[in-house]
Amino acid sequence: MSKTAGSIVEAALKRDPHEVEFIQSVQEVVHALERVIAKNSHYVNIMERLLEPERMIIFRVPWVDDRGETHVNRGFRVQFNQAVGPCRGGIRFHPLMNLSIAKFLGFEQTLKNALSPYKLGGAAGGSDFDPKGKSDNEIMRFCQSFMNEIYRYLGPDKDLPSEEMGVGTREMGYLFGQYRRLAGHFQGSFTGPRIFWSGSSLRTEATGYGLVFFAQLMLTDMNKDLKGLRCVISGSGKIAMHVLEKLIAYGALPITVSVRFSILVNGSPSGFFNSSRGLCQGNPLSPLLFVIVMEAVSRLMDRAIEGQNLVGFTWAMPQKVIELLACAGGGIIADIEIEIFGMLPLYACCGLFGENTIDGYLKEDYSKTYARSKYYDEAKPWNERCDVAFPCACQNEIDQADAINLVNSGCRVLIEGSNMPCTPEAVDVLRKANILIAPAMAAGAGGAFDDMEE
């Protein structure tokens, strides 16, 4: 790194020596811009100003559990930059959430939003609250307490919160409901998948679909195509599942996927499926059935949310998933005609239910349905033979050893779905092996595009 670029990193390190994730993000961005900074010395002062957030909010979040006991968590909101417009960024609920991660996410979101044609700044926040294992009422009380403190900093002209790890439709609904009550107006201040409280119909799919579109454009530039390519995916959230869905639509072979929700061991998914013939590629009809099932589930959940009775609704789904859907439907699913095709749609399960409902079922039934598939516990997918990798779990999920495995597996392209998924050592290994890396700031900008539409 040049002396000029190095001075920028040194200044950030001197100011925040203990913020590991944020410093790593700064180093990566400055390294990428090193040549530009060397030719344009006036950018040094701009970078130094950019690296200091406009506002950092740290607050206490007290809440009461179902036993009447009081707990206290820490909340964060970093409004990183509003130079081009109001802030936009996710809210993350995870026990490892801290100020460093909030700053790193806000910094990356600022650059990601700047790449979109819309005028949006960057922000990020959340809490070290762990929603796993909590009841709906406990999560509601926590979200309301969280919003009590932060609502005054939000608004369509100030800051637009969005979903992130540990925060889905349920949590965003609780947060928005409390914001509306406190602010006294119903404005499109939140981004999310539910149209009836300011979301858009494509928000859930936007980031995952965008990753696949970006990958296809990269491959087209290389005179290649996604069709028939082996793809490995990590993660089990909405990004990973919609990457899986769109890869199948493109004719690619997604051969791995994580199956446990938000369970991280040393920053990595705790297990994954592998199928040498591709997920949902067990027979010629299975991709079509996969799409049919997803369409049916989408219509089902939309009707359930709107309070419609689902008498006579027909779709292909394993019996166990039918039972889970019936429970999720809040008692309004009255009489459903079932046709079982003996296949397990991973997207439908992973995208709709919690980790305690289907984990064991996924391992047992998917492996039975597709004899060539294998389940690996406490493992990563990066040593599987592949052409394209989609890390969609969390930051730093690919370390140096994983990068070496990717090189040895034949991977030629890596599409970043999660923010900063590779450690600096991993990036060095991948670059030396001439593996093309699509940074999340560009490849994952589909969500930013859709948010402005909302």
- Look at residue 135 and tell me whether its pLDDT is greater than 90: yes
Q: What is the pLDDT of residues 108-119, one digit of tens each?
A: 999 999 888 888
Higher-pLDDT residue of 146, 173: 146
DSSP string covering 84-111: SSSEEEEEEE-TT--HHHHHHHHHHHHH
Tokens at residue 304, please? 């359930």
At 292 the pLDDT is: 41
Q: What is the pLDDT of residues 185-202, one digit of tens each?
A: 877 677 765 544 555 667
- Buried b / exposed e along 306-321 (16+ C-beta atoms within 10 A): eeeebeebebbbbebb
Q: Do domains 53-192 and 205-304+359-451 have the same CATH topology?
A: yes
Distance, in Å, from the CA atom of 381 to the CA atom of 266, rounded to the nearest integer, reads: 15
Tokens at residue 301, please? 């959940």
Q: Is 109 annotated as a binding residue?
A: yes
Beta strands in 191-280, from DSSP E residues, in sequence order: 230-234, 253-258, 264-265, 268-269, 271-274
Higher-pLDDT residue of 179, 369: 179
Contact criterion met (CB below 8 Å) for 450 and 431:
no
> Is residue 17 classed as helix, strand or coil in its secondary structure?
coil
- Look at residue 295 and tell me whether its pLDDT is greater than 60: no
Q: What is the pLDDT of residues 399-448, one digit of tens each?
A: 999 999 999 999 999 999 999 999 999 999 999 999 999 999 888 877 66
Question: Domain locations in the chain?
Answer: 1-52, 53-192, 205-304+359-451
> How does DSSP classify residue 143?
H
Give the distance from CA 188 to its chain's centroid: 22
Distance, in Å, from the CA atom of 159 to the CA atom of 122, rounded to the nearest integer, reads: 9
Q: Is 207 annotated as a binding residue?
A: yes
- Look at residue 357 and tell me whether its pLDDT is greater than 70: no
What is the topology classification, in CATH, of domain 53-192? Rossmann fold (3.40.50)
> How does DSSP classify residue 19?
-
At 201 the pLDDT is: 63
- Look at residue 218 and tell me whether its pLDDT is greater than 90: yes
Tokens at residue 451, please? 């948010």
Distance, in Å, from the CA atom of 359 to the CA atom of 356, rounded to the nearest integer, reads: 6
Distances (CA, A) of 285 to 273, 279, 290, 341, 373: 21, 13, 9, 10, 18
Q: Model pTM?
A: 0.74
Amino acid at 389: A
- Look at residue 212 and tell me whether its pLDDT is greater than 70: yes
Among 187-191, 262-266, 314-318, 342-346, the minimum mean pLDDT is found in 262-266
At 70 the pLDDT is: 98
Distance, in Å, from the CA atom of 139 to the CA atom of 142, rounded to the nearest integer, reads: 5
At 93 the pLDDT is: 97
At 454 the pLDDT is: 55
Contact criterion met (CB below 8 Å) for 254 and 417:
no
pLDDT band at 78 (very low <50, low <70, confident <90, very high): very high
Q: How much of the chain is helix, strand and coil, in % rounded to 5? A: 45, 20, 35
Phi, psi of 56 (to 5 degrees): -125, 120
- Look at residue 60 and tell me whether its pLDDT is greater than 90: yes
Closest CA to 392 of 364, 420, 428: 420
Contact criterion met (CB below 8 Å) for 259 and 381:
no
The set of residues, in sequence order, having a beta carbon less than 8 Å from that of 223 and lying 6+ positions away, is: none
Contact criterion met (CB below 8 Å) for 61 and 73:
yes
Q: What is the mean pLDDT of the chain?
A: 77
Provide CATH code, domain 205-304+359-451.
3.40.50.720
At 285 the pLDDT is: 31
Q: Is 27 annotated as a binding residue?
A: no
At 204 the pLDDT is: 74
Contact criterion met (CB below 8 Å) for 411 and 403:
no
pLDDT band at 42 (very low <50, low <70, confident <90, very high): confident
Higher-pLDDT residue of 236, 171: 171
